[in-house]
Structure 1
Amino acid sequence: MTEQKRRPLPHDFHPPVASFAVVSDDVSEGAELKPDQVQAGGNTSPHLSWEGFPEETRSFAVTCFDPDAPTGSGFWHWTVFDIPASVTELPAGAGGGDFAGLPPGAVHVRNDYGDKEFVGAAPPPGDGPHRYVFTVYAVGDEKLGPDSDATPAAVGFNLRFKAIGRAQLIGEYEVRAGS
């Protein structure tokens, strides 16, 4: 395993919380992402569905993070929060376009490209496989606190203190050298 693959996940620095399940029609644990979840192939946020979260959950947040990006700080592909507790599924494509799959009141912040939407995998050619960590956070408050001008890091700061549960699903993607 390379040093790159040992980079921690964003919630490795958070206190332990209850775990629950997240599944997807588009992402399989440890498998290669489908073309739709790749920037050059569709740039479409995946379907996600979750269950078994703590009873006290008042809202959810969803993130996608690449800890293996050659930036020294990883790369945030998607951050959305204030998803009502009654919503336990996002359809494919909810993170872009007209956001038709997001419930009213959900808040999108900029990804590391600077856009307020999902951006698909785009690792540099020859950089090896990158992990794309889709995390659903159960939050004990209806509103997380930040607004749509917050950075993913500021959202993560709030999640560190307000998350009461967490589920993750990790897909991988690689662009081979010379591609």
Structure 2
Amino acid sequence: MKYVNYLKDEHAAHMAMFNALEPLFPLISDVGIAMQNTIKNGGKILLMGNGGSAADSQHIAAEIVGRFKKERKGMPAIALTTDTSILTSVGNDYGYHYIFARQIEALCRPEDLVIGLTTSGNSANVVNAIEAANAIGATTVGLTGGTGGKLNELCTYNIVIPSSVTARIQEAHIFVGHSLCEILESV
């Protein structure tokens, strides 16, 4: 019983944040349609983030390549967070701020869609990668929180979760990621 009040407070904060997401539904729908168009036009989806956002990137990529709810052919998605040899060599040779931008330079094409997850919207390695994707002509999506940070100015779409609490933002990012996967599967 020691943590019951704590859990009640966390649940209330979680529910309040989720109730505040409704104004974002049209934007989330637009991103889902952009993802559908990316796949229809022969493109792929590239995802990245740090820490919990790296795990979320991998989770969403797995749902796209494998399946979310519907039995279907695999769709092309790559989490840029998974290849330790690339991450460590680029980090060593160019600096940690370029671990994703260098992969975007190598793997991204104009028909692709790039998703950067960063709770602040300011993670330098994600910002650099979004800038690189924009230079290539890809569609860019931010999944952020707080004020949206630098990604507000850089992304084609920036889904800004209305919270400044990292845990709440990450909880919402998974909801948004799952929603996008379901929209993608509805093709």
TM-score by length of 2: 0.26
Q: Which has the higher contact order (CA 8 A, sep 6+)?
A: 1
Larger radius of gyration: 2
Identify the structure with the greater helix proportion: 2
TM-score by length of 1: 0.27
